[in-house]
Amino acid sequence: MSTKVRENIQLSGFMFTFAVCEPIKQRDMKYNHSSLILFLAMLFCFTACEVEFDPNEEWKQVTVIYGVLDQDSDTTFIRVQKGFLGSGNYLNFAKEKDSIYYKPNEIDVFMLSYYPWEKDKVGDTLWFDYTETQTKPEGDFYNEVSPIYQCVTKGKLNHSEALKQEYKIVVRNKKSGDETWATTRLIGDYDITAPGSIMYFIPKNGKNIMSCSWYNINSSVATKGEGIIAKMFQPSMRFYYRANGEETFTDIDFAIKLNTSSNSGFEFNSNIDMNDIVNGLKRNLASHKGKCSWTNRKYAFELYINSCNLEMYEYYSNSRQNDNQLSDKPIYTNINNGYGLFAARRKHIKLTFTKEDEKLQTAIKALNYGF
């Protein structure tokens, strides 16, 4: 007779952070109720959720993949780790490098590209090289170097034909021949249509509001469309400043906008409250209070429109539910023969302001941070 035991799973974090999640109805989400203790350590901020497993089952190793494609990035990184089932203390396993990472000669990591209407005709094959970083995951994990796989993708993902293709990440076990894989498509282009190059805020209902809008272009759900339409968008403001004599920047994220339309050319609108910018700077720059100053740049602010595709949105939505509810929840994954996430995002579309609103400049000076 088997005994079901609940354990906490630590999921690691997201290269694309959203600040607010609007309630949605989830459809056709792919879930797996895990029979494993999975140790994941790159893409997702650590959040706890519960799964059930049978400690009397035979030990089984499962491959875990985390990767996000961004056609505007010079290099693509893929995290590959192990999941395992065991009845012992999982913290002891997590502290051993060989328990959570593959050795370089144990697996091949590569990415195939092809047109969705010609899946049997593979185009480019990109191979990922093993490297190690000094990034340490939080918690009781192996805490020396962290293996990661990388491939230089500059110029290979940001052209019109690349946007039409589907991408398949494959991790092949050299000994067993088993393959763990997933597919995704890149996000199509979109343009910021408002505001213009001059930042200004209009008084509205006791607030100072800047209207922001953006527009999908060259995207279609049709088979031969140039990229897919993003599922979730988030505006963010980047502020450049000097602290302790060195130039740096900080990002302020605003409310998420969900795409509920599958039509290309759909326009999105978001109102940015000046107080949200000021409060974001107050929070983010608190450690540099009294040591901040303006840069010599012609501009101090940039507006970004971040986006992600359906797979990342579904993972994010599921993770939020696991955070906010005490009930047992399954783990979202779109990996075949394994666990994890392979998705796409964009953080390229930006607008540089040539002039800031005087009201905002006055509010920043009033922080008494040195500006």
User: Do residues 215 and 206 touch, judged by C-beta distance below 8 A?
Assistant: no
CA distance 162 to 159: 5
Strand partners, 275: none
Predicted local confidence at residue 96, as pLDDT? 58
DSSP string, 74-99: SEEEEEEEEEE--SS-HHHHHT-HHH
Buried b (16+ CB within 10 A) or exposed e, 181-211: bbbbbbbbbbebeebeeebbbeeeeeebebe
Do 175 and 90 lie in one domain? The reply is yes
Do 298 and 328 lie in one domain? The reply is no
Question: Does residue 249 lie within any of the structural domains?
Answer: yes
Do 76 and 154 lie in one domain? The reply is yes
Question: Does residue 202 lie within any of the structural domains?
Answer: yes
Do 210 and 225 lie in one domain? The reply is yes
Give the type of residue at 159. H
Total structural domains within the chain = 2
Do 112 and 230 lie in one domain? The reply is no
Do 248 and 294 lie in one domain? The reply is yes
User: Which carries the bigger pLDDT value, residue 135 or residue 17?
Assistant: 135
Question: pLDDT digits over 306-320, tens only?
Answer: 999 989 988 888 877
Do 233 and 331 lie in one domain? The reply is no
Percentages (nearest 5) of helix, strand, coil residues in the chain = 15, 40, 45
Average pLDDT, the chain: 77
Name which of 103-107, 121-125, 297-301, 314-318 the model is least confident about. 314-318
Question: Does residue 371 lie within any of the structural domains?
Answer: no
Q: Count other Cβ atoms within 10 Å, centred on residue 17.
A: 14
Nearest residue to 301 via CA among 282, 278, 283: 278
Do 70 and 91 lie in one domain? The reply is yes
User: Do residues 217 and 264 touch, judged by C-beta distance below 8 A?
Assistant: yes
Predicted local confidence at residue 93, as pLDDT? 53
Do 236 and 313 lie in one domain? The reply is no
Overall size of the chain counted in residues: 371
What does the pLDDT average to over 190-208? 91
Do 123 and 272 lie in one domain? The reply is no
What does the pLDDT average to over 85-111? 72
Q: What's the domain range around 219?
A: 190-308+348-365
| 3-7, 49-53, 337-341 — most confident range | 337-341
Name which of 27-36, 191-200, 256-265, 339-348 the model is least confident about. 27-36
CATH of the domain at 224: 2.60.40
Strand partners, 182: 169
Do 150 and 208 lie in one domain? The reply is no
